[in-house]
Structure formats: structure tokens, C-alpha cells
Amino acid sequence: MRIAVLGGGAMGALFGGYLSRENDVILVDVSAALVEKVRADGVTVREPDGGEAVYQVQAMSQTSGQAPVDLMIVFVKSMYSRSALEQNRGMIGPDTYLMTLQNGSGHEQTLLEFVDEDHVIIGTTQHNSAVIEPGVVRHGGSGLTHIGSLSGAPGRLAEIAGNMTACGLETDCSANIQKLIWEKLFTNVSASVLTAVLQVPLGFIAEDPSAWGVCERLVREAVDVANADGMGFDPQQKVDEVRQVCLNSPQGLTSIYADIRDGRKSEVDTISGSVVRASRRNGTPAPTHEAVVALVKALEAKAAKQ
């Protein structure tokens, strides 16, 4: 397959490198330094066991004149999705599938501006990765990648999932992908966002009674909102799972923590904001999420002024 990966950061480089095992991969990024580094040295992935592999992929910042691809995977931060897709519209043909594996939910609304719903793939992955330097990433952990069709039509999903699995990214096709996306959201919209607001590691959220009280309210509100859409989650089970994540990674620092620490704009609109939007749509109150979104936006505004 001919595949374009938009965004050469931690996850884009990881997936781009792995997918190049069986495919013609184009890594697209606005950073000229990153593109130059990948062109010269390839993408380096350092594995959890200490091993290291170098993958030779194409890299470019400007894709004008490029033929349409079979699959385009969006790994840029959510606030840049629309501009990234617009800048690379020439590679989107009538048979191109657009896939999002980004954190949060609701990304399909942006993808639908470029292709019909039969060509939108949404999903979630258990892989994680961190940038060591441009073009060099540390593969922190593996797991399943789940993908699903927005329209319910299978299309080429099985072929794409099989291709990804053959490249070392074990992937399945899910008939209930929205529920799996909610599963991943619960930690992100509770413990993770609180690490940003409080500027603390994950362990503090579980250990401090006040922080944990807010975290538990966030989990229970999110479960109520999800269940109003028929997801069927057990609230106490999700609370226990989030607490265990915090206890298992006491020094864990989340990406949204780093965004606020470094004065960058975060992805709160597609993470915690997705709970707020669903809440307003299905009429299930989520006041703590509304407050947290407002707090993160206030912190972003404070950093912008400074």
C-alpha cells in the first residue's frame, strides 16, 4: 500500500517506521529539520528491550504533485488536523481512506470534510512512544490497535488491519469502535487532565484525597455521559481502573501536563471537551468536565500572555 502519515512526532514516526516494513510510506511534517533528519538517517525506533531499528521512509514537508495514497493516517495534534489535511489534499483521491488514531474523540467530523463516511476509519491504539530527538523515538509499550468504519461498511478495513498486523502493529476490526474510544478516554479526561491543571505526576492524583475526589467525579461523570449513549460501562470498575493507572505510574507525566508546563496549546477540546459536547448532546450533566476545560483554557491564556 501507499501510505501517508501526517505528523512525524512520537506516534507518527513509530507507525511510519513500522508500516514501512511492508508499504511505501511518506512521512509528512512541517518541520524542515525533522524532514532533513529522516531523509538522511531514516526513522530510528528504540524498543523496550533495548533493541533498535532504523526504517528508511520518504519524508517531506511539501506534497504538491504527489499522487493520491491508499491510506492517510492523521497523527498531528487535533487542532492542526484540518490544516494538515488541507495542505495535503492532493494526496486524497476518491479511493483514499483517512484514518485517525489520535487521542480523544470527535476527530471524524474533520475527516468528513475531505472524504465520505465510507472512507473514514476511526480507531485507538495501545502503543505509546516518546520523541528522543527528531526522527528518533522510544517505543514505550505495545498492545492492540482497534479500528472501525464510521459507516459500518467494512470496505477495505480487513485488508488494512491485516497489513498493519503484518508490519508488527497488531490490529483488529471492531464493530463497536466508539466504545473502545471511550475506554481510552476515561483516564485522559480524569487523571491526565488533572496532572495538567495541578502540574503533578499521576501518583499524586491517587495519593492526595482532594485530587482523587475530583478525579473520581470526573470518571463517574464521563461514565454517565457514555452510558447515556448506550455504552454500558460499570462506574466503579472504571474508577478502579483509573486509580490503578495512577498507582502503576506514580512518576508518570502526561502529554497534556507537558503542554501546560511548556506554555503550549493542548488538545483539551478533543479530549475533555468531547465529554462536554456529548453531555450537551444527550442531556447528561458533566459540570466537573466543564470546569476542567475552562481551567485548562485559562492556563493556556495565561501562558500566551506571558
CA distance 250 to 207: 9
State how far the alpha carbon of 94 is from the alpha carbons of 62, 74, 284, in Å: 21, 18, 39
Count Cβ atoms below 10 Å from residue 194 Cβ, excluding itself.
26
Q: Residue 302 catalytic?
A: no
CA distance 182 to 271: 10
* DSSP annotation of 67: P
| Residue 90 main-chain phi, psi, to 5 deg | -60, -20
CA distance 88 to 48: 33
- Tell me which residue has cell 507507525: 15
**∠ CA 99-102-103 to the nearest 5 degrees?**
150
Mention every residue, 6+ apart, whose C-beta is less than 8 A from residue 177: 122, 123, 124, 146, 147, 148, 149
Write down the catalytic residue from 77, 179, 184, 265: 184
- Closest listed residue to residue 167, CA positions, set 178, 175, 159, 176: 159
Mention every residue, 6+ apart, whose C-beta is less than 8 A from residue 198: 204, 205, 211
Which residues are known to be catalytic? 184
